Amino acid sequence: MNRLFGTKNAVPKPSLNDAIKGIDERVSSLDVKLSKINSELSTYQQKISRMRDGPGKSSLKQKALKLLRQRKQIEAQKDQLENQSWNMSQATMTTDNLQNTMVTINAMKTANKELKKTYGKINIDELENLQDEMLDIIDKSNELQEALSTSYDVPDEVSESELDAELEALGEEIDFENEMAESGIGAPSYLNDTEPASSDKIPTFIDEEPEKTEKIAN
């Protein structure tokens, strides 16, 4: 059966990286050949420089010329392989970038689906109602703070009529004091006395002196 229909080749196809690796190995082998040829050409050059013109010198020149042609061919082949390796490296970089781009796109799609699921569960009306309730609570809290901070000792406002009456009373009091000062009727002298108080000093408001007691003769 295998002879009639054949068998499926299970060997995987080489990738770009495998191809690049193979080319790099071939370039390395060409470098070894070029190094060997350059060494032989250097030897021929030294020999030719010491020889006189003749058949022997011409023979060495022919060998050196043959090696020089081989070197040019190898160098051309090496340049071609390096160009191929560079092109495949660029293709590999492009492929990697595309793969990274696809990974990014797939991740964005997945994230977009999750965001839609999450935001789809949010009810905007409920959120607005919640905000309104929070604002009401804040307003009530502010009112409570204002009520607790109210001072009961001093009235918050004073009317203009009360202010006028108070000022008029103060004016009358000042006028009365001025009249009393002009008429010589002022406060009692003992209240205005600036000297230190003494137990022996008799207040000036006592009209009569105390009666003198007579000594009784024995």
DSSP assignment string, 80-124: HHHHHHHHHHHHHHHHHHHHHHHHHHHHHHHHHHHHHHHHHT--H
44 neighbors 63 (Cβ within 8 angstroms): yes
Q: Is the pTM of this model over 0.75?
A: no
Q: How many CA atoms lie within 13 A of 20 on its CB side?
A: 13
Structure tokens at 85: 């390796």
Domain boundaries, the chain: 13-120
Taking CA atoms, 174 is separated from 127, 171, 179, 191, in Å, by: 68, 5, 9, 20
pLDDT in tens, the chain (218 residues): 455 555 556 667 777 788 888 898 999 999 999 999 888 888 888 888 888 888 888 888 888 888 889 999 999 999 999 999 999 898 888 888 999 999 999 999 999 888 888 877 777 788 788 888 889 899 888 888 887 776 555 555 657 777 777 777 877 788 778 877 777 655 555 445 544 444 455 555 445 555 554 444 44
Q: Which helix (H) or strand (E) holds 153?
A: none
